[in-house]
Structure formats: structure tokens, C-alpha cells
Amino acid sequence: MSPLERRTAYSLAAIYIVRMLGLFMILPVFTMYGAELKGHTPLLIGLALGIYGLSQATFQIPLGTLSDRIGRKPVILFALTLFVIGSVVAALSHTIVGVIVGRALQGAGAMSSTVLALAADLTREQHRTKIMATIGVSIGIAFTTGMVLGPVLNAWIGVSGIFWSTAVLGLLAMGVAIGVVPNPRTHRHHRDTGIVAASFAKVLKNRELLRLDLGIFIMQFVLTSNFVVLPVLLAHMTHVPVNRSWELYLPIMVFAFLLMIPFIIIAEQRRKMRQILLGAITVLGLANLTYVYADRSLPAMAAGLLVFFTAFSVLEATLPSLVAKVAPADQKGTAMGAYSTSQFLGVFTGGTVGGMVYGAWGIHGAIVTSASAVLLWLLVALRMAEPRYLSSYVLPIKASDTQEANALQAALTAIRGVADAAVAVDEGVAYLKIDRAVIDETELRAFARPTNEPLTE
């Protein structure tokens, strides 16, 4: 990658980390704080945890579409402004309703699709996958950091202080967007990162993609629902106070990450993706039930959490990889948009249903509900077909009309190792699905046009 592309990757990843860190830090501490707010109920505490998912799901596609019209940076800055305002509202609120409003505003600053589109504007096609992977890794970093940092900050400045810290982080992200992220020479729609309205119906009719959408919905449902009750469970049953829960989460998150790596290697390199997915779903559900039967034992609870987060990490890495493999060459962005929407709806539903069930049937009821959702996912996933181990590849091409595009598409499809090809004349690229085990990239590059045009202003 060029210095410009590295700067793009790291600065956009930093913005992603800052924003997601602000959302993740309250997960391990909010339930106990919410119980001290005026007007709280278990349902409203769960709603406060999950409401950002609803506003995120509602606004991410409209804001992404708006960025195609007015530019990426204005939309990113607008989204971060909403995020900062929401953080301030939550920090100043002494009622559960006020915090819910603040969290909803935080989520309304939905900039995920816009950040990815800006990354595509600022990078050459052959390096786009690396850039997206760098930004994707930032989400895992933010989650792990938030799980540890949230309890530490709660001990020092409380949850309201965490919200103030989140507002400051949002302002810093705005500074990075203005002063560090390069300005693209132009912005245009990219089918590998953006939504194509005409493709949405096709994506929603694809059963394999729908299974993956259901999977990420249930996974986030379970995670958010669990964090409605986990702080209470740790404090009252295993006597781990919220402010010291980081001592439990830190080694668990580190070991879960290390344990995840061999499973991902087996899934990708040995082409055991379906088996690893089904195994991780099964383990996720069983680990969830250990919370119920830990019997006030901290070692049993810690073991259950380690197994849970290991399975969760495997699934978090596997699911988007499967979406990229399953989606047709020119529908990846649309498929990922539907996947992300399902993810955020899972956050909202998990918080809301988790809080409602906790209020009606207690901790055991909430945990059993989550485990039942995982069982449903497993039953659906069992019908999943063995995926083709294909990679996305974007090739810069020159085709001036439909006739040339059709001829080029036929020539590309004829190359050994190319499973699917779609030529986008308006973008000047061909979207391919290739098998890297057999492809000869020199054959592909023979069709590529030179890409010497500047990416920045």
C-alpha cells in the first residue's frame, strides 16, 4: 500500500475505534447504574442498552446514500456531531428515559457505510480488501478495550463520566476526520461497499444470505441480552463488583482471542467453514447455559465466559467472511448492508427482550431465552450449504458501453479460477469472485487498465 492508503486505513480505523469504544464501554457496567436512575425498570434498562442498535439500523443506509450525493466527510462529521450530542444528553440525564434518548442519538450517528465508502474512494482496487480488513479489526479492538476500560473508568468517574469521555472521544474523532483523513478527489458509488437499491430484493431472496443475517441478529441478541443480567449475576452470585469486573474480563478476552485463531485458520485454510460455524454456534449456546448452573462458583463462571467469548469471537470473524463468499460479485455491498442492519436490530431486540424477560422471570429466564435463540439459529444453520471458498477481487477495467462490458465479462469468466464476474461500466471496474487456490492473477491483470489517476484533491 502507498503512504496515502496506509494513512487512510489507520485514520479511518481510529475513527471507528473511537466511536465503537464509546458504545461498548458501558456494556459491563450499565445495568447497575441504570438501577439507580429515576423511573427505571428492567425493560427500560435493557432498552437503554439496545436502543442505539435501532437508530443505527434506521439511519445507516440513508446516511450512506446521502454521502454518495454530498460527499463522505460532511456525513461523517454530521454523524459524529449526533454521537457527541447523544453522549452529552446521556451524561447529563438523571432519568432512564433521558439516557435512552441519549443512546438513541448516539446510534443515529450511523456512519459505518460512509466510512467504508470513503475508504473505497481513497484506495486502489487491488488494496481495498486490506483496507477493509484493517477497519474491520478495529471493531474487535474496540470491543475488547471497552470491556476492560468500562469498569476501570466506572470506578474513577462513574457511568456519567464514561458518557462525558465518549463525547470527548467523538470530538477527537472529528479532529481526525478533518485533519488526518485525506480528502478524496471524487466520490462515487462502489458496489462492494455500498447499497444498490436494485439488488436489495435479490439479496433478501437469497436463502444462504438470510441464514447469515439471522445468525448475526441472534448473536448480537444474545450478547446484549446477556449484558442486561451479567453485571447483576457477577455482583450478587459470584461477588465480583462491577468496578473490579475488568480483572475477570481482561484475561478472558485475551485468551478468547488466542483460542479463536486456530479455529479461523482451520476454517479458512483447510476449508472447514461450515463445520467450524456449526460447532461455534453449539458451543455458544451451551456456554450460555453455564451461567445458570455456575452455582455461585467464580471459576465455573469464568470458564463459561471464556468458552462463550471464544465461540463469539470465532463467529464474529466467520460470519462476515461467509457473507463475502456467498454474495454475488456485484452485490457484496448490498449483502453487507443487510447483514449490518440485522446486526444492529439484534442489539436492539436483545436489550429490549432481555430486559423484559429479566423483569418477568429473572436472571435464569433471560439466560434460557438467549440459549433458546441460539438453538433456533443452530436448527436454521444446519441447512446451510457448504460455501465455495471464493474471494472478492476488484479489477480496474475500461469498457465504454454495454457491448464491451458483456464481452469483457465473458472473457473474465472464462479464466480458470474466476467463478463470477460483473462489469460496472459507470465505476470502471469489474467485480469478481475468484478461487485464490487456482487463479493466475497475471491473466486477470492483462485486462486491467492503468490506475495512475490521483485519489486525493
pLDDT for res 243: 87
Residues 305 and 421 in one domain: no
d(CA 407, CA 69): 31
Residue 127 located in a structural domain: yes
**E strand map for 328-378:** none
Inter-residue contact 193 to 333 (CB < 8 Å):
yes
Give me the number of domains the chain comprises: 2
Backbone phi, psi, residue 352, to 5°? -70, -50
Residue 223 located in a structural domain: yes
Q: Among 341, 361, 381, give the residue marking a domain's end.
A: 381
Residue type, 192: D
Buried b (16+ CB within 10 A) or exposed e, 20-56: bbbbbbbbbbbbbbbeebeebebbbbbbbbbbbbbbb
Buried b (16+ CB within 10 A) or exposed e, 326-352: bbbbbbbbbbbbbbbbbbbbbbbbbbb
Residues 311 and 438 in one domain: no
Residues 263 and 210 in one domain: yes
Burial of 262 from C-beta contacts in 10 A (0-12 / 13-18 / 19+): exposed
Q: What angle do CA 222, 224, 228 make, to 5 degrees?
A: 110
The pTM for the full model equals 0.92
Q: Among 325, 356, 381, give the residue marking a domain's end.
A: 381
Residues 397 and 364 in one domain: no
Residue 192 located in a structural domain: no
pLDDT for res 313: 93
Q: Among 381, 411, 427, give the residue marking a domain's end.
A: 381
pLDDT for res 398: 79
Residues 85 and 206 in one domain: yes
Backbone phi, psi, residue 101, to 5°? -60, -45
Take residue 349 and report the three cell numbers written for it: 431486540
Residue 452 located in a structural domain: no
Residues 147 and 262 in one domain: yes
Residues 224 and 333 in one domain: yes
Residue 432: CATH number of its domain: 3.30.70.100
Residue 78 located in a structural domain: yes
Residues 253 and 297 in one domain: yes
The boundaries of the domain holding residue 440 are 391-445
d(CA 312, CA 373): 14
| Torsional class of 428: left (φ above 0), alpha (ψ -120 to 50), beta (otherwise) | left
Task: For residue 429, give the DSSP letter.
Answer: E
Inter-residue contact 354 to 224 (CB < 8 Å):
yes
Strand partners, 95: 38
Take residue 185 and report the three cell numbers written for it: 478527489
Residues 425 and 296 in one domain: no
Residues 351 and 410 in one domain: no
Residue 348 located in a structural domain: yes
Mean pLDDT for each 10-residue chunk of the chain (457 residues)?
82 87 89 91 95 93 86 92 96 96 93 85 75 80 90 93 94 93 77 74 90 96 94 82 89 93 91 94 91 74 92 93 87 88 95 95 91 96 90 81 84 88 83 86 78 51
pLDDT for res 452: 53
pLDDT for res 429: 83
What 3-state class would DSSP assign to 424? Answer: strand
Residue 93 located in a structural domain: yes
Inter-residue contact 158 to 32 (CB < 8 Å):
no
Residues 337 and 427 in one domain: no
Residue 450 located in a structural domain: no
Residues 152 and 282 in one domain: yes
pLDDT for res 454: 47
pLDDT for res 133: 77
Residue 309: CATH number of its domain: 1.20.1250.20
